[in-house]
């Protein structure tokens, strides 16, 4: 299981598109900082269709006033981020 | 044999930062590091590369209502005695220097935090080799 | 140790592309087995005939020339990114293998360390 960490808005940078191509079904994809903007618009649909496990840092969503639909991504805190990163084979940061 | 050594080092994380002191990634990295330490993981290296060498400088002065991420990183490094390195090539280019380098280059500056070392990429490679997991925070 | 470097930065967007390559070369100098995978605008680092003579800027070709000297011979480019930029492996200054997503995922899974810069 690889952990992909996306921290850029998909509207601004192409890393989201690149990361989701490289991420496999058994991988986890964590949205942090501006990466959480992917839980909106067309990108939300891409997320729903991608078989990987999607997660987002809850306080980064809250800061940006985002309330994504339940089930789109699992909302986690930094404790869970750490645990997830230690379970992954590799952490790949996409920025 | 490798499995044995991995299990000995399974609790350690090597962290690299590339973003400057204003970058979201530097703040996120700080929160990650704090959570990791609270969960009793060891951070075997905090490696400041590229613009992140700014985090090694004692010079930034922030308004009272803003977080001084560089100072917070430095406090964490001191509190937990984290092995912290600023890549020397990246640091010199960006004006983060200790008194030795300042003398060597005829500069009047000494802004490298004393708990952070100037070193090369070999140090990062060593940390990578020994850690269980590494993670990069960049912008 | 098998280190896969994923290089995504365009060659002259600040210094990150060069610093990433410097890291890969440093690892190779320490005898690590380094593989390079160029993705996205990282592919532009490999374009032939980059002429920096009019600008006082370090030509990335210099760092790339060292790749061979340091025995880094596993060089990959993402096929889709290459095509999207209207390029073929012939357009590149070093010998590189075009790979699809499946192979990229395998490279990642097989590496001891992955450094995504």
Q: How confident is the model at residue C89 (pLDDT cuts 50, 70, 90)?
A: very high
Instruction: Flag if A82 and B31 touch (Cβ within 8 Å).
Output: no
Sequential DSSP letters for chain B? -HHHHHHHTTTEEEEEE-S-TT-HHHHHHHHHHHHHHHTT-EEEEEEE-GGGGGGGBS-----TTS--HHHHHHHHHHHHT--EEEEHHHHHHTT---HHHHHHTT-----B-TTEEEE-HHHHHHHHHH-SEEEEE--
pLDDT digits (tens, 9 = 90+) for B1-13: 555 555 454 599 9
Give the helix, strand, coil percentages of chain A, each rounded to 5: 40, 20, 35
**A2 contacts chain C (CB < 8 A):** yes
CATH fold label, A3-94:
Hypothetical Protein Ychn; Chain: A, (3.40.1260)
Q: How far apart are the first and last CA of chain A?
A: 20
CB < 8 Å from C in window 45-64 of A: none
pLDDT tens, per residue, chain B with 139 residues: 555 555 454 599 999 999 999 999 999 999 999 999 999 999 999 999 999 999 999 999 999 898 999 999 999 999 999 999 999 999 999 999 999 999 999 988 899 999 999 999 999 999 999 999 999 999 9
Give residue B49's pLDDT.
Answer: 95
Q: Model ipTM?
A: 0.96
Catalytic residue among B45, B62, B87, B131: B87
Taking the CA of residue A72 and the nearest CA in chain B, the distance in Å comes to 22
CATH fold label, C2-116:
Hypothetical Protein Ychn; Chain: A, (3.40.1260)
User: CB-based contacts of A30: which residues, under 8 Å, 6+ apart?
Assistant: A3, A4, A5, A6, A55, A56, A57, A76, A81, A84
B21 token code pair: 């002191």
Domain B10-137 is classified in which CATH homologous superfamily? Answer: DsrEFH-like (3.40.1260.10)
Residue B29, burial from CB neighbour count under 10 angstroms (0-12, 13-18, 19+):
buried
Q: How far is CA B99 from CA B52, B57, B94, B102, B111, in A?
A: 20, 13, 15, 5, 8
pLDDT digits (tens, 9 = 90+) for C34-66: 999 999 999 999 998 888 888 878 888 878 888
Instruction: Flag if C6 and A90 touch (Cβ within 8 Å).
Output: no
From the list B41, B36, B46, B39, the residue with the least C-alpha distance to B11 is B41
Is residue B9 within 8 Å of residue B43, measured between CB atoms?
no
pLDDT digits (tens, 9 = 90+) for A57-90: 999 999 999 998 888 999 999 999 999 999 999 9
B87 is catalytic: yes
Taking the CA of residue A90 and the nearest CA in chain C, the distance in Å comes to 7
pLDDT digits (tens, 9 = 90+) for C59-78: 888 788 888 889 899 999 99
Mean of the per-residue pLDDT values for chain C?
92
User: Where in chain C are the domains?
Assistant: 2-116
Contact pairs from chain A to chain C, CB under 8 Å: 28
């Amino acid at each position: 299981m690889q952990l992909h960490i996306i921290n850029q808005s998909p509207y601004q940078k192409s890393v989201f598109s690149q990361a989701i191509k490289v991420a496999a079904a058994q991988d986890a994809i964590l949205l942090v900082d501006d990466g959480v903007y992917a839980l909106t618009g067309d990108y939300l649909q891409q997320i729903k269709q991608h078989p990987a496990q999607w997660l987002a840092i809850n306080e980064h969503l809250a800061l940006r006033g985002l309330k994504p639909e339940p089930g789109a991504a699992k909302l986690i805190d930094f404790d869970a981020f750490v645990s997830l990163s230690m379970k992954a084979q590799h952490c790949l940061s996409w920025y | 044999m490798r499995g044995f050594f991995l299990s000995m080092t399974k609790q350690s994380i090597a962290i690299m930062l590339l973003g400057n002191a204003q970058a979201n990634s530097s703040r996120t990295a700080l929160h990650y590091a704090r959570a990791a330490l609270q969960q009793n993981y060891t951070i075997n290296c905090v490696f400041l590369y590229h613009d992140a060498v700014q985090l090694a400088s004692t010079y930034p002065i922030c308004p009272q209502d803003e977080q001084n991420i560089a100072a917070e990183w430095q406090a964490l490094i001191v509190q937990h005695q984290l092995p912290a390195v600023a890549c020397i090539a990246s640091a010199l280019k960006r004006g983060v220097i200790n008194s030795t380098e300042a003398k060597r280059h005829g500069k009047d500056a000494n802004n490298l935090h004393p708990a952070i070392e100037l070193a090369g990429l070999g140090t990062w490679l060593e940390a990578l080799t020994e850690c269980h997991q590494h993670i990069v925070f960049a912008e | 140790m098998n280190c896969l470097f994923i290089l995504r930065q365009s060659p002259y967007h600040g210094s990150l592309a060069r610093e990433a390559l410097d890291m890969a070369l440093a690892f190779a100098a320490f005898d690590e087995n380094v593989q390079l995978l160029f993705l996205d605008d990282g592919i532009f680092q490999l374009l032939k005939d980059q002429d920096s003579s009019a600008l006082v800027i370090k030509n990335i070709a210099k760092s790339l020339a060292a790749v061979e000297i340091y025995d880094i011979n596993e060089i990959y480019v993402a096929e889709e990114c290459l095509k999207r930029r209207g390029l073929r492996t012939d357009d590149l200054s070093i010998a590189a293998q075009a790979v699809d997503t499946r192979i990229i995922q395998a490279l990642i899974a097989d590496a001891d360390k992955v450094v995504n810069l």
